[in-house]
C-alpha cells in the first residue's frame, strides 16, 4: 500500500509539473467559449454606444473607446485618444437631430482582441446615409473597448 | 535503483498525462513569438498587394483576399467574395495610371486573426488622395489573407 501511495504521489507530482497547462483540445474549447462570451459582451457595448450617441452623451461615448483609440471618420484625418474622440462626438451631437443605427454582421474574437464588421444608417435632419464599418475591440481590465473604429458611406461614388 | 526507476516512470507518466499542455507563461511566450512572425508575414503581404495593384494584376491582388472576404470601398456597397473583388480591381486597373502607397502603422495578431491599421496615398492621374485603412487578416492554410478591408479619405469633409 505504501509503495502504491508513493507511486500515486509521484504521478500527481508529474501532473502538477505541467503547471496547470491545457491540451490543444482544451485550448480550442476555451477559445470557443471565450469568443461566444466576447460576442455577447460586444453586442451589448454596441447597443450602449448607439444609445449614448443618439442621446448626445459624448462623455459616455468616449468611455467606450480605449485610452489611445483611433477614430477614423471619412473626410477627416484620424482622431487619436479619448479626449479628442470626446471632442469629436461633442461636436457631432451639437449639430442637431441625429439618429444612428448599427447592425453588427460578424464579430470574431480571439483572446483580448476582436473584430466587428457591420452596417450603419445615420439620419441627419432630412438626409439619410447608409454604409459599413469595421471596429477593432480590445479587452481592457475586464471590459471590451473600441481600439480602432472606421466607417464609410455606400453612397457618393468611389474615391 | 529499480524503485527509483519506477518512481521516475510514474512521474513521467503524470507529466505526459497533461497531454503536452502548456503553462500560461509558455502560452504568453508563444503568443509573442506568433505575433512577431505574423507581423513580418503581413508586412510582406502588404508589399505584394501594393506591387500587384500598381502593376494592374487583379488576379494576384484577389488571391491576397480570403474566399469570402469583404472589400468595403467608400461610395460603394460592400464587395463580397474573391470573384467580385477581382472584378473590382480589374475595373480600377483599367482606369489609367494609378499609384498606391500603403504605410502599415500597427499590426496586432493573436492566433489566426490579425488587425492592421495604416495610411495610404493614391495618385490617380493628376489627383492625389490620402487616407487611412483597417484590415482584418486571417491565417488560412499557412498564409495570411485579407478577410475584411476598409478605407476612407482624409479629404472631402465629414459625412
A11 lies in some domain = no
A52 lies in some domain = yes
Q: Given the C-alpha cell 471632442, which residue does it identify?
A: A87
Give how far A84 is from chain B: nearest CA, Å. Answer: 16
> Which residues of chain A are within 8 Å of residue B8 when distances are taken between CB atoms?
10
Looking at residue A95, its pLDDT comes to 60
Interval A49-74 mean pLDDT: 97
Q: Whats the size of chain A, residue-wise?
A: 159
CA atoms within 13 A on the CB side of A12: 6
Is B97 a residue whose pLDDT tops 50? yes
Listed in sequence order, the residues at least 6 apart from A130 whose beta carbon sits closer than 8 Å to its beta carbon are A119, A120, A121, A122, A153, A154, A155
Do the Cβ atoms of B16 and A96 come closer than 8 Å?
A: no
Between chains, do B17 and A12 touch, taking CB under 8 Å as contact?
no
Q: Which of A102, A107, A110 is nearest to A139 (CA)?
A: A110
Interval B75-104 mean pLDDT: 90
Task: Please name the member of B6, B13, B76 whose beta carbon is closest to the beta carbon of A158.
Answer: B76
Q: Highest mean pLDDT: which of A11-15, A103-107, B14-18, B88-92?
A: A103-107
- The number of folded domains in chain A is 1
Is A66 a residue whose pLDDT tops 70? yes
What digits encode the pLDDT tens for the residues B27-74? 889 889 999 999 999 999 999 999 999 999 999 999 999 999 999 999
CA distance B116 to A114: 13
Give how far B121 is from chain A: nearest CA, Å. Answer: 12
What digits encode the pLDDT tens for the residues A113-122? 999 999 999 9
Between chains, do A12 and B14 touch, taking CB under 8 Å as contact?
yes
B155: region left, alpha or beta (phi > 0 left; psi from -120 to 50 alpha): beta
Lookup: cell for A111: 483572446
B12 lies in some domain = no
Interval A133-147 mean pLDDT: 97
Is B3 a residue whose pLDDT tops 70? no
B2 lies in some domain = no
Looking at residue B10, its pLDDT comes to 57
> Which of B91 and B108 is assigned the larger pLDDT?
B108
A43 lies in some domain = yes
Residue B113 sits in a domain whose CATH number is 3.10.450.50
A35 lies in some domain = yes
Q: pLDDT confidence of B6, banded at 50, 70, 90?
A: low
Q: Whats the size of chain B, residue-wise?
A: 159
Interval A105-113 mean pLDDT: 95
Q: pLDDT confidence of A76, banded at 50, 70, 90?
A: very high
Looking at residue B91, its pLDDT comes to 84
B13 lies in some domain = no
Closest residue in chain A to residue B127, using alpha carbons only? A159
What digits encode the pLDDT tens for the residues B100-147? 999 999 999 999 999 999 999 999 888 899 999 999 999 999 999 999
B67 lies in some domain = yes
Which residue range is the domain that position A138 belongs to? 24-153
Looking at residue B159, its pLDDT comes to 43
CA distance B156 to B127: 13
CA atoms within 13 A on the CB side of A143: 11
Lookup: cell for A48: 450602449
Looking at residue A24, its pLDDT comes to 84
Task: Please name the member of A14, A75, A151 whose beta carbon is closest to the beta carbon of B14.
Answer: A14
Looking at residue A159, its pLDDT comes to 43
Amino acid at each position: 500500500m505504501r509503495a502504491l501511495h508513493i507511486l500515486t504521489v509521484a504521478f500527481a507530482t508529474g501532473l502538477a509539473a505541467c503547471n496547470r497547462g491545457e491540451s490543444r483540445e482544451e485550448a480550442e474549447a476555451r477559445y470557443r467559449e471565450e469568443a461566444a462570451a466576447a460576442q455577447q459582451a460586444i453586442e451589448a457595448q454596441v447597443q450602449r454606444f448607439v444609445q449614448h450617441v443618439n442621446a448626445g452623451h459624448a462623455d459616455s461615448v468616449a468611455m467606450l473607446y480605449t485610452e489611445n483609440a483611433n477614430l477614423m471618420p471619412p473626410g477627416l484625418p484620424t482622431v487619436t485618444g479619448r479626449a479628442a474622440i470626446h471632442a469629436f462626438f461633442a461636436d457631432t451631437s451639437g449639430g442637431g437631430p441625429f439618429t444612428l443605427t448599427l447592425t453588427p454582421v460578424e464579430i470574431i474574437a480571439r483572446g483580448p482582441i476582436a473584430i466587428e464588421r457591420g452596417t450603419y444608417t445615420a439620419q441627419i435632419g432630412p438626409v439619410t446615409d447608409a454604409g459599413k464599418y469595421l471596429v477593432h475591440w480590445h479587452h481592457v481590465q475586464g471590459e471590451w473597448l473600441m481600439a480602432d473604429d472606421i466607417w464609410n458611406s455606400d453612397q457618393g461614388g468611389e474615391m
